[in-house]
Amino acid sequence: MKKKTGIAITAAFLLVSALALCVCGTCSKKARLADGDWSGSAEGRNGPLELVLTVQDGKIAAARVVSESETDFAKPAEADILAQAVKKNSADGLDVVSGATITSKATMQALKAALAKAQGIAPAAAAPTGAASCDIVVIGAGGAGLSAATEAAGSGATVIVLEKMGIAGGNTNSATGGLNASETSVQKKLGIADTNEQYYQDTMKGGYMLNDPELVRTMVEKSAETVDWLMGLGADLSDVGKMAGSTNKRTHRPQGGGAIGVHLVPVLQAAAEKAGAEIRFNSRVTDVARDGSLFAVSVSSGTGDYIVRAKAVIIASGGFGANPEMVVRYQPGLAGFGTTNHKGATGDAFAWVQKFNAELVQMEQIQTHPTVVPGNGLMITEAVRGNGAIMVNREGRRFNNEMATRDVMSEAILRQTGKTSYLLFDQGIRESLKAIDGYARQGLLTEADTLAGLADKLGMPAAALEESVASYNRMQAAGNDTEFGRAGSDMPRPIATAPFYAVEVGPAVHHTMGGIKINIAAQVIDHDGAAVPGLFAAGEVTGGVHGGNRLGGNAVADITIYGKIAADSALAYIKDK
């Protein structure tokens, strides 16, 4: 991808704005910014992102990205972050742009690096090198790893988290739907009837009964307490929606239907650090081995190679969706597919665990997500469909039940002209789901005041599109989709309020459902069926929870629940060590 330059934001601050900053304490708490141009850099989704801040009269006067390799659709996110920084005269308290989390965080990191230079603050010390020791090493600072670190450190263990990327979150950063859970305090408060048994049956059915029943049962039965645990840490899970494959509303997310990942990762990272966990970024694990009664975890960082010794290890390093060679090895039919995964999802752990005779299960079970923007890997949350959107092909016709499971919907899209389709919705649906605003800010949406105008922009027959929407609205009002069998409860609102919106989408590699075999205690299981002492795993690096297809909302449930379980099991293991 070619380098891009030239994003610039400027602002003139009124005197009252400057005074307000001082009244709020900004002036007294932070060193004055030195005038001049100050550079900062961070690792983005596709490579280094570099920017320059211009400081005049002690305030940020301008900010511009001078070099990056992000997608065209990420440029508005960069501009948005820079605009916030200029307005606030700070890099603190900035809002991540939904759908461009990694780019947003990289821009924030680069801003902070530049501001530190302007304040005369020396760069933070590099991650420690040489020998280190702790009770528990957690490999990976995604949702599973941060959940494990929070639980373990909060229970008094010394914890070192090793994250090979420059930011926390992994694929959790891109999670948009929510967290599935049943019989929760939130559901009860909202009057939503749901049961653990129905959640279990939905998950098993969605996975074509290939799931490990015990793993699913454990996830389901611990889901409600995990929602309470996360809310206790500060997470907002007060909105409950419905995803494809779920009988009832059970997808917990921030108020208004905001994206779950950009909200949850900072909550978990802050909780882990507050509990005392040490998170080391840009620290790539290259091997895990026995060293007497301990584990020796080999690490490669920008400042050198070193070893961390620990009594127990929790592997939470994610899947392999960004490793096309490995994807094709297990699923040749996915050759040439794009991916929603961040670039660090390369399946490193599968090589480390071989020496422990660890069993890998269902590696061929790789899920595609049906609504990914072609060419850039940006995923449109399933909640858009759950809130009432339909999908049409280039001929302006619906072609499937939009709430079918991801694999079914992906296959249906690939049968259409051009192997993509259009997600179609109106202003009412947009207002029902905050995540859509993030897509608009990135320029992903095509908009028109009429369906005919939208059809013209998309190059499809206007009459066909108008009839498709009119037919859908009639069936929605009747609560009966006689064309494709979409349930009445899955058609919550008509598509009738201008403006109307569309975004082109198609399938991309999304979730690798196979991985390291674990039991309900998150212990790594070897080929003989025995647990490997002291070795635990959680999240997308494991296999068995999702079977042949993962339901939307189950990944965040899986990573948080089994991350916490892995920590509890590791704590029990080290108790007598």
Task: Please indicate, yes or no, whether residues 278 and 155 belong to a single structural domain of this protein.
Answer: yes
For 291, the token pair is 């060293």
Task: Please indicate, yes or no, whether residues 437 and 533 belong to a single structural domain of this protein.
Answer: no
Choice among 250, 397, 406, 486 that is catalytic? 406
Per-residue pLDDT, 10: 39
Q: What's the total number of domains in the chain?
A: 3
Task: Please indicate, yes or no, whether residues 387 and 473 belong to a single structural domain of this protein.
Answer: yes
Task: Please indicate, yes or no, whether residues 201 and 220 belong to a single structural domain of this protein.
Answer: yes
Strand order in 360-361's β-sheet? 360-361, 515-517, 542-543
Angle at 472 between CA 467 and CA 474, to 5 degrees: 95
Instruction: Say if 134 falls within a structural domain.
Output: no
Nearest to 390 by CA among 371, 368, 417: 371
Q: Name, in order, each residue with C-beta under 8 angstroms of 307's C-beta and a sequence gap of 6 or more.
A: 131, 132, 296, 297, 298, 299
Task: Please indicate, yes or no, whether residues 343 and 485 belong to a single structural domain of this protein.
Answer: no
Using CA atoms of 383, 241, 404, 247 in order, give the dihedral in degrees to the nearest 10. Answer: 180
Residue 305: count other Cβ atoms within 10 Å of its Cβ: 12
Instruction: Say if 146 falls within a structural domain.
Output: yes
Per-residue pLDDT, 47: 77
Instruction: Say if 64 falls within a structural domain.
Output: yes
Indicate the helix (H) or strand (E) that contains 47: none
Per-residue pLDDT, 5: 39
Instruction: Say if 565 falls within a structural domain.
Output: yes
Instruction: Say if 126 falls within a structural domain.
Output: no
Q: Which domain holds residue 521?
A: 139-365+513-574
Task: List pLDDT tens digits, range 116-169.
Answer: 888 887 665 555 555 799 999 999 999 999 999 999 999 999 999 999 998 999
How many angstroms separate the Cα of 568 from the Cα of each of 136, 232, 520, 523, 563?
11, 18, 12, 11, 9
Of 509, 527, 548, the domain-final residue: 509
Instruction: Say if 127 falls within a structural domain.
Output: no
Q: What is the pLDDT along the chain (577 residues), one digit of tens a residue?
A: 434 434 444 333 332 333 333 333 333 345 788 888 888 888 887 778 888 888 888 889 888 888 777 766 677 788 888 888 888 888 888 887 766 778 888 888 888 888 888 888 766 555 555 579 999 999 999 999 999 999 999 999 999 999 999 899 999 998 988 999 999 999 999 999 999 999 999 999 999 999 999 999 999 999 999 999 999 999 999 999 999 899 999 999 999 888 899 999 999 999 999 999 999 999 999 999 999 999 999 999 988 899 999 999 999 999 999 999 999 999 999 998 999 999 999 999 999 999 999 999 999 999 999 999 998 888 899 999 999 999 999 999 999 999 999 999 999 999 999 999 999 999 999 999 988 998 998 899 999 999 999 999 999 999 999 999 999 999 999 999 999 999 999 999 999 999 999 999 999 999 999 999 999 999 999 999 999 999 999 999 999 999 999 999 999 999 999 999 999 999 999 997 7
Contact 357, 528 (CB under 8 A): yes
For 116, the token pair is 């530190």
Which residues of 293-389 form beta strands (DSSP E)?
294-301, 304-315, 360-361, 366-372
Task: Please indicate, yes or no, whether residues 292 and 396 belong to a single structural domain of this protein.
Answer: no
Instruction: Say if 130 falls within a structural domain.
Output: no
Of 118, 150, 170, the domain-final residue: 118
Task: Please indicate, yes or no, whether residues 202 and 244 belong to a single structural domain of this protein.
Answer: yes
Helices H, strands E: what count in the chain? 19, 23
pTM of the predicted protein model: 0.80
Which residue type sits at 536? F
Nearest to 287 by CA among 491, 137, 96: 137
Instruction: Say if 259 falls within a structural domain.
Output: yes
Task: Please indicate, yes or no, whether residues 501 and 529 belong to a single structural domain of this protein.
Answer: no
- Give the per-residue SS3 of 87-149: HHCCCCCCCCCCCCHHHHHHHHHHHHHHHHHHCCCCCCCCCCCCCEEEEEEEECCEHHHHHHH
Task: Please indicate, yes or no, whether residues 254 and 321 belong to a single structural domain of this protein.
Answer: yes
Angle at 282 between CA 278 and CA 288, to 5 degrees: 75
Task: Please indicate, yes or no, whether residues 176 and 71 belong to a single structural domain of this protein.
Answer: no
Per-residue pLDDT, 16: 32
Residue 514 is classified by DSSP as: -
Give the integer Cα–Cα distance in Å for 520 and 273: 27
Per-residue pLDDT, 346: 97
Residue 406 bears catalytic tag: yes
Per-residue pLDDT, 430: 97
Please report, for the domain that includes residue 177, its CATH number. 3.50.50.60
Task: Please indicate, yes or no, whether residues 373 and 308 belong to a single structural domain of this protein.
Answer: no
Please report, for the domain that includes residue 501, its CATH number. 3.90.700.10
Task: Please indicate, yes or no, whether residues 86 and 151 belong to a single structural domain of this protein.
Answer: no
